[in-house]
Amino acid sequence: MSNAYELSIEKLPNPEKATLEGKNKFLGFWFFLGGETVLFGTLFATFLALRDKVGNGPAGHELFSITTTFISTMILLFSSLTSVFAILALKDYRLRMMQFWFWVTILLGLCFLSLEIYEFFNYVKEGLGYKTSAFSSSFYTLVGTHGSHVFFGILWISTLMIASYKKGITTVTAPKYYIAALYWHFIDVVWVFIFTVVYLLGILGG
């Protein structure tokens, strides 16, 4: 329990790991992401087991459009890059710069989410409801869980950013920004797997 509050006046290098609280948050969050990996692993395994069970409903290759998902992928990958810029600014204690890049990240996240909602809307219109087949249930659950993670990430980072105008970059706030960025990278990595396993396999693997 080192004294985080009073240390915060100085500008220590790597403010996200300068205190024991920061180190604990950092390690604890990595472990949390380990648990999330198992969570998504289970969802992926179930999806792979059920992806051919389309019943009377449409199959993946009849629905998926490579253009839309490719744009989604690029948007999310780019948002990961902007969150890296935010963290670089954080390490230099450049508050305005960090806020700018995090807001860009949030904006890109919103674009991704809108595309996903638009996409789901179209699938439902083409006859792929949640109850249609085992494929549809596992598809919507896997991709929807990822989408809800993106949604939560947007809420979380927005909250941090609004608070950052008052609180700035200190050894108390820096770990929060840092782990939020870690979370954002994680959901980006999960999306890369979704793009490959769900969409590319769905389109190419037939």
Partner 1 sequence: MATTPITIGEEKQGFLPWLWKWLTTVDHKKIGILYLCGAGLFFLVGGIEALLIRIQLSVPQNDLLVGSTYNQVMTMHGTTMIFLAAMPAIFALLNAVVPLQIGARDVAFPFLNALGFWLFFLGGLILNASWFLGGAPDGGWTAYAPLSTEFLGSGMDFYILGLQVAGAGTLMGGINFLVTIINMRAPGMTFMRMPLFTWTALITSALILFAFPALTVGLFFELFDKIFGANFFNAANGGNGVIWEHIFWIFGHPEVYILILPAFGVISEVIPTFAKKRLFGYTSMVFATVLIGFLAFMVWVHHMFTVGLGPMANSLFAIATMAIAIPTGMKIFNWIFTMWGGQVHYTTANLFAVGFIPTFVLGGVTGVMLAVPAADFQYHDSYFVVAHFHYVIVGGVVFGLLSGLFYWWPKMTGKFLNERLGKVTFWFFFFGFHVTFFPQHFLGLMGMPRRYFTYLSGDGLTTGNLISSIGAVGMAVAVICLVINVVMTTANGKKAKGDAWEFGRTLEWSLPSPAPEYNFAQIPLVKGIDPFWKAKMEGSSKVMPAEPLGDIHMPSPSILPFLMSLALTIVSFGFIYADKMGTALNKGSLFFAGMGVALLFLMMLIHSLKDDHGIHIHKQEIIDTERVIE
- What is the SS3 assignment for 53? coil
The answer to the question of residue 27 lying near partner 1 (CB under 8 A) is yes
In angstroms, give the least distance from the CB of 70 to partner 1.
28
Measured in degrees and rounded to the nearest 5, phi and psi for residue 92 equal -95, 5
Question: Within 13 Å of residue 114, how many CA atoms lie on the same side as its CB?
Answer: 7
Q: Is 24 in the site for partner 1 (CB under 8 A)?
A: yes
Backbone φ/ψ region at 14: left (φ over 0), alpha (ψ -120 to 50), beta? left
Q: Looking at 11, 14, 28, 118, which residue binds partner 1 (CB under 8 A)?
A: 28
Q: Tell me if 167 contacts partner 1 by CB under 8 A.
A: yes
With contact defined as beta carbons under 8 Å apart, do 1 and 20 qualify? yes
Options 9-17, 42-50, 120-128, 197-205: segment touching partner 1 (CB under 8 A): 42-50
Token readout for 67 is 């253009």
Angle between helices 66-91 and 95-125 (to 10 degrees): 160
Pick the binder of partner 1 from 9, 35, 67, 96 (CB under 8 A). 35
Q: How far is the CB of 182 from partner 1 (least distance, A)?
A: 14
Q: How far is the CB of 8 from partner 1 (least distance, A)?
A: 10
Question: Is 1 an interacting residue with respect to partner 1 (CB under 8 A)?
Answer: yes
DSSP letter at 15 equals G
From the list 13, 22, 38, 21, the residue with the least C-alpha distance to 186 is 38
Token pair recorded at residue 119: 């996409």
CB-wise, 68 or 141, nearer to partner 1? 141
* Residues in contact with partner 1 by the rule CB under 8 A: 1-3, 5, 20, 23-24, 27-28, 31-32, 34-36, 38-39, 42-43, 45-46, 49-50, 53-55, 130-138, 141, 155, 159-160, 163, 167, 172, 176
